[in-house]
Amino acid sequence: MTAPDHFHASSEEAFGARTDVGYTRAHNEDSLLVKPPLYAVCDGMGGHEAGEVASEIAVEELRRHAPAEPDADALGHAVDEANLAIIRAVSEGIGREGMGTTCTAAMLDGDRLAIAQCGDSRAYLLHAGTLQQLTRDHSLVADLIERGEIQPEEARTHPWRSYITRALGLDPRIHADLYELAADAGDRLMLCSDGLYSMVDDTEICRILTHTADPQDAADALTEAALAAGGNDNISVIVVDAVGSKRRRRKLARKTRVAAVTVIIGLVLILGGAGFALNWWMTNSAYLGEVDGNVAVYQGIPGQVLGMGYSHLDEVTDVPLDVLQPGTAARIRQQEVRCESLEAARHLVNEYRMEADLDQGADGADGAHGADGTEPTSSSGAAAQPASDASPTPDTPPAPDAQSGQSA
């Protein structure tokens, strides 16, 4: 059975996978396992459909026995189980004598990466733009390269290039090489069978991995590159993007939440303080205006703030504006006469009322405004106080008309 060409599943790590039979093989003997955080590439061998039987048994045993989290020893134990299962299958008449498979299994969860590898399928890590081969091939050409007998570039065309020195299904005593590493956010893990790296060199693999943002697109591009180079073998690729330390990301998320709550609390305090100040200002402010020709008392502040009014009519008095001095009447109409409280505003209106009565009484005598010819003290933007010279004092005794004409 051939592994599906594409895999999609939900995972914190973004990933992509693809396998292709290539142009020269009749069957695809590669099998893939994509079960985040577990990923594996197995390249079967044995011919006549036996290779794919071996690789499928391997991925099924890995699926069954792999640990829940990256743990190289436990993953190695799962590979041991896969090895024994293939050997057992042959003894039971499944597949063929001599069938086997490579196995490169990886678990990536956060910043933890564990790998168990047997054979010549590979794991690479792209870190900061540099591609590093994480695993060592168990192959004759790899041994020859290590002994300095051939150059790495000769491996691709060497007549012994297909001989592997360790595989699952051939010897119950073999074990996988184990690796445990830390992966940073932005690192990219790539697993592949030799059908990729035998056709595409590491420089081109690095270029594709670096310049292809989506991991599925990267897996597709790598496979297409191997096909374009001839597709002489089955090609399998898994690309997984590391998200880095979960603890660090949780800490960052916690910091972000704390900062957001702090900002919200700050805004609430600022808005609450502004509301309190506005309320205080309104309840401690009053001004005079005109309603139907009479002086009216308003609590609050005239005009609008941010498109909203912050005042209400408290009282329409019985004092007509046209009995007041023209300048005072004009300022009242323009709502320029402000007081520190409703009480002060009412007090001021009383003074106007007294003056108006004085004026009415005085109109018949000399036509002057006020007892001394001035209007009561008031000011724009400041608390208005009853004019001291409008009140009777021992030095300026009130005229008898002023007392008798008081109406309020």
Residues that bind Mg ion (CB under 5 A): 43, 193-195, 233
Decide: 300 and 286 in contact? Cβ < 8 Å: yes
Judged by CB, which is closer to Mg ion: 181, or 205? 205
Judged by CB, which is closer to Mg ion: 19, or 212? 19
Q: Which of 169, 70, 59 is nearest to 115 (CA)?
A: 70
Q: What is the nearest approach in angstroms of Mg ion to the Cβ of residue 164? A: 9
Q: What is the nearest approach in angstroms of Mg ion to the Cβ of residue 23? A: 13
Rounded to an integer, what distance in angstroms lies between the CA atom of residue 103 and that of residue 112? 20
Q: What is the nearest approach in angstroms of Mg ion to the Cβ of residue 247? A: 38
Decide: 118 and 54 in contact? Cβ < 8 Å: no
Judged by CB, which is closer to Mg ion: 193, or 325? 193
Query: Which DSSP state fits 165?
Result: S
Q: What is the nearest approach in angstroms of Mg ion to the Cβ of residue 55? A: 10
Q: How many CB atoms lie within 10 A of CB 357?
A: 19
Decide: 337 and 378 in contact? Cβ < 8 Å: yes
Judged by CB, which is closer to Mg ion: 52, or 194? 194
Q: What is the nearest approach in angstroms of Mg ion to the Cβ of residue 65? A: 24
Query: Which DSSP state fits 390?
Result: G
Q: What is the nearest approach in angstroms of Mg ion to the Cβ of residue 30? A: 7
Judged by CB, which is closer to Mg ion: 233, or 357? 233
Decide: 74 and 11 in contact? Cβ < 8 Å: no
Judged by CB, which is closer to Mg ion: 162, or 385? 162
Rounded to an integer, what distance in angstroms lies between the CA atom of residue 321 and that of residue 315? 15
Rounded to an integer, what distance in angstroms lies between the CA atom of residue 191 and that of residue 180? 15
CA R_g for the chain: 46
Which segments of 301-341 does DSSP mark as H helices, in order? 326-333
Rounded to an integer, what distance in angstroms lies between the CA atom of residue 137 and that of residue 66? 22
Report the sign of the C-alpha dihedral through residues 209, 28, 193, 163, in that order: negative
Q: What is the nearest approach in angstroms of Mg ion to the Cβ of residue 246? A: 35
Judged by CB, which is closer to Mg ion: 142, or 319? 142
Judged by CB, which is closer to Mg ion: 166, or 331? 166
Decide: 93 and 113 in contact? Cβ < 8 Å: no
Q: What is the nearest approach in angstroms of Mg ion to the Cβ of residue 64? A: 24
Rounded to an integer, what distance in angstroms lies between the CA atom of residue 181 and that of residue 13? 16
